[in-house]
Structure 1
């Protein structure tokens, strides 16, 4: 199978690239850093993006590229819209021309966090611009019949909250853990789930994330598992935040758990690269 992968240098992109290249031809697109055997393309250069996709004629497109820095999205709204939403529109346009199957990765931040354990049918209501830009991207993706939107939560590998906790505690420093819940998943487990999904060619929206946990509880687990020094403090908000965060953006992944044989649900702290 010929697969085009955007965001190949990101956490999920790196894991997908390693996994999928074992049995498939993977065309890797990246923007910010070097990827062996990849193509550097600015996703906001929309004519170039469409032309590249149409010429390469992939059977499957996996869009993991995104502007994910929540506060940066709040400040640089125009750029966030172009990367997280408008680029998806142009990926869809090209997908239609070549009849490619599209899997688009989205986020739990499309929800307001007022109830948690959100199902696919729940109505999105983002509380920050990152969530809004990703929701608009979802709308563009779902305008194409042969697409699947995979919502996930707190992806980590070489960065993310679990890695921050590990490194900070290891240095004997204090960790500020936001008083809120989510469903963090390692990039490794998410990649395994996506590999299975592209073979199933499911469409619509699907939640793929791990168990619901508070950041405070997760920090305690990491401290205990690795026997780390350092203090953990639960806080209402983190100093320096620009954008509001949802209190409980955890996802209900029961549909995906019934559908997939991959155990993506069990929290995989070992999935950190530190």
Structure 2
């Protein structure tokens, strides 16, 4: 039997991974009893790894609030950076395959269509802290870094915001810019396929490149809602952290490697009807 640990099992991606790997030991920020599990605690990670001696470790845990990361660099560094180093350390000790989930925000957004060889240049501290985590993970040779973009699913996110507000007849503003949104279920499915491959290093797993405005229009079309309520806007002035304008990812490598369609905008949006 393969022993798996999922860090961040309560998040959008972690929840879907938990459904795909029901036998995995799942680490939640707060479990059903209300107990908080802090991945910032190196001793906690050490003890969990020693107890389970996993064959595979999937790190889907992150502090993903971009503005909070900008306000609290120390917390972002600890959660997104240093804790990955601890997970990598004990993955090496037990010869575990480490799958670390990264982000498109390690790039500055000036060009878009970033492939696996693109040089990171984050413009906010969220991206910086995640890049630090990537570097820690890459220091362990038995690791995979999955860079992704705009993950959405059962919790608050832009596609959910669009669907909710259009369903209520409310106008919405879609901030100008491009990315590669993917439903957490397709991302989890792609990761499950990736684990079976003899691959190590960085790979982009994300959706097709699209603007937030066009994504909102597609959601309106698929759900039969009024697209006239959608407007494109500049970033609000009260945003604390800068966002990359075009953080879209080139997914040719993953498409060829996995041989499955995880990236179709249409299919990703349609998954929202099944939630």
Give me the TM-score of the superposition, normalised by structure 1.
Answer: 0.94
Q: CA deviation at 1:88?
A: 0.2
Residue 185 (structure 1) aligned with residue 178 (structure 2) = no
Residue 270 (structure 1) aligned with residue 266 (structure 2) = no
Structure 1 residue corresponding to 2:97, chosen from 97, 101, 105? 101
SS at match of 1:122: coil
Q: CA deviation at 1:102?
A: 0.2
Aligned to 1:223: 220
Q: CA deviation at 1:170?
A: 1.1
Aligned to 1:9: 10
Say whether the 8 Å CA contact 1:50–1:93 is kept in structure 2: no
Alpha-carbon distance between aligned partners in 1 of 2:142 and 2:15, rounded to the nearest angstrom: 25
In the superposition, relative to structure 1, how do residues 247 and 187 fare at CA in structure 2: closer, same or farther (>3 Å)?
same
- Alignment gaps of 5+ in structure 1: none
Residue 117 (structure 1) aligned with residue 87 (structure 2) = no
SS at match of 1:90: helix
Q: CA deviation at 1:39?
A: 8.2
Q: How many residues align?
A: 269
Residue 249 (structure 1) aligned with residue 247 (structure 2) = yes
Alpha-carbon distance between aligned partners in 2 of 1:250 and 1:39, rounded to the nearest angstrom: 37
In the superposition, relative to structure 1, how do residues 192 and 39 fare at CA in structure 2: closer, same or farther (>3 Å)?
farther
Say whether the 8 Å CA contact 2:3–2:52 is kept in structure 1: no
Alpha-carbon distance between aligned partners in 2 of 1:82 and 1:137, rounded to the nearest angstrom: 9
Structure 2 residue corresponding to 1:75, chosen from 71, 77, 86? 71
Structure 1 residue corresponding to 2:256, chosen from 255, 258, 268? 258
Structure 1, 198-207 or 122-131: larger mean CA deviation = 198-207
Q: Could you give the per-residue CA deviations for residues 182-211 of structure 1, whole angstroms, max 9, x where no partner exists?
A: 000000100110001111141110000110
Give me the TM-score of the superposition, normalised by structure 2.
Answer: 0.94
Q: CA deviation at 1:45?
A: 1.0
Alpha-carbon distance between aligned partners in 1 of 2:157 and 2:271, rounded to the nearest angstrom: 11
Alpha-carbon distance between aligned partners in 1 of 2:161 and 2:32, rounded to the nearest angstrom: 24
Aligned to 1:55: 51
Alpha-carbon distance between aligned partners in 2 of 1:238 and 1:2, rounded to the nearest angstrom: 45
Moved over 4 A (4+): none
- Alignment gaps of 5+ in structure 2: none
Alpha-carbon distance between aligned partners in 1 of 2:18 and 2:238, rounded to the nearest angstrom: 34
Structure 1, 261-270 or 53-62: larger mean CA deviation = 261-270
Aligned to 1:161: 158
Structure 2 residue corresponding to 1:198, chosen from 195, 209, 224? 195
Aligned to 2:20: 19
Say whether the 8 Å CA contact 1:29–1:40 is kept in structure 2: no
Aligned to 1:131: 127
